[in-house]
Amino acid sequence: MPTTALHRSRRPGPGKGRNLSAAPEPKAPATPRTAYKVTGIRVLRSEWAKFWSLRSTWITLGVAVVLLILFGAIASYTYSPDAVATSGPPGPGSSDGDSDAVSLALTGVSFAQLAIGVLGVLLSAGEYSTGMIRSTLAAVPRRLPVLWSKAAVIGPIALVLTTVGALAAFQLGVPGLDGEKIALSLGDDGVLRALAGAGVYLGLVAVFGVALGVLIRSSAGAIAALVGVLLILPGLASLLPDSWYDTLSPYFPSNAGSAVYALHHSSDTLTPGAGLAVFAGWVALTLAGAAFRLVRTDA
C-alpha cells in the first residue's frame, strides 16, 4: 500500500483526537434569593395599598365627610327656636336646653356613620365576595395580622377625616347661629372635646364595620347587621317595658356612641367617658368574634 494512503487511513475523523476531559467553562454564580418574612409592618403596608387602590374608598370617604358638613351646616342655618317650640316634641332645634350649637353641627353624624361603617364592611367582606381573601391568607398564614391591619388602617383615617369634617361643620354653622342663645365658639368648654368625640366615634364605627365583615363574610349581611345595630335596635327596644328600656337603653351601641360626642349629658345618658368605654367594648367584642372565626374556619 502506498505510504500516502496509509497516512490517510490513520487520520482521525471529525471529533476524534480531541481532549474530551477538558474542564467545562465556569458558570456565573447564582444570585441568592432574598428571603422576605411576613411582618406586621409589611402586612400593614399591603392593607394600606389595597385600601387606597379601591375607587369605593375615595367615594365613600368623600360622601361621609360631605354628609357630615352639609347636614350640620343646614341644621345650623335653619335653626329657629320659635318654629321648633310650636312644632311638637323636642328636636335638634328645640329651645328646651337639650340642643346647642354642637348638636346642630353634628346632625350629620347619623348619616356619616352609615357611609363609614359600609366602607369598613367593604374593606373586609369585599375580599370574601371576590375570592381575594384566599390569596391574602396564603400570603399571611397566621391570619390575625390581616384583621388587625385592616382595623389599624381604616380606623385612624376615618377618625382624622371625620374630625376635620365635624370642625368644618361647626365653623360653617357659627354665622347661622349668630345672636342665638345656643351659639357657641370653639373656645367654650367642651366644644373641642365633643367635636373630637364625633371623630373618635366614627373611627370606631369603621372598625366595627371591618369586624362585622370578617365575622359574617357577606357584604349584604354585614351591612344589614350594621344598620340593624346602629339604627333599628334602639327603635325596637322602645317596645320593652319602661323599666327595662330605661336601664338598657344607654348601653346600646348607638346610644353609648352618641354620648361620646354629646356636649352635655342627662341623668338617663352615659357620660362621654363611660359612653366611649361601652361602645369600644362592643367593637372589641365584635373584633374578638371575627378573630375567632378567622382563625378557626376556612376562608
Summarised one tens digit per residue, pLDDT across range 208-265 is: 999 999 999 999 999 999 999 999 998 888 888 888 888 899 999 999 999 999 998 8
Say if residue 73's pLDDT is above 80: yes
Confidence at residue 94, expressed as pLDDT on a 0 to 100 scale: 37
152 confidence band (pLDDT: 50, 70, 90): very high
Q: Do residues 289 and 211 touch, judged by C-beta distance below 8 A?
A: yes
Say if residue 90's pLDDT is above 60: no
The mean of the pLDDT values for the chain is 85
Confidence at residue 36, expressed as pLDDT on a 0 to 100 scale: 65
Q: Looking at the chain, list the stretches that DSSP marks H as alpha helix, in order from N- to C-terminal side.
A: 3-9, 40-53, 55-77, 81-85, 101-105, 109-130, 132-139, 144-173, 191-216, 219-227, 233-237, 242-248, 253-260, 272-296
Residues 6+ apart with CB under 8 A from 90: 84, 96, 98, 99
Q: Do residues 245 and 238 touch, judged by C-beta distance below 8 A?
A: yes
C-alpha dist (Å) from residue 211 to 69, 88, 200, 298: 27, 40, 17, 17
Confidence at residue 200, expressed as pLDDT on a 0 to 100 scale: 97
| Distance of alpha carbon 166 from alpha carbon 177, whole angstroms | 16
Q: Which grid coordinates belong to 49? A: 395599598
pTM here is 0.83
Phi first, then psi: what are they for 258, rounded to 5°? -65, -25
Q: Do residues 292 and 240 touch, judged by C-beta distance below 8 A?
A: no
In the chain, the amino acid numbered 170 is F
Residues 6+ apart with CB under 8 A from 255: 234, 249, 269, 270, 275
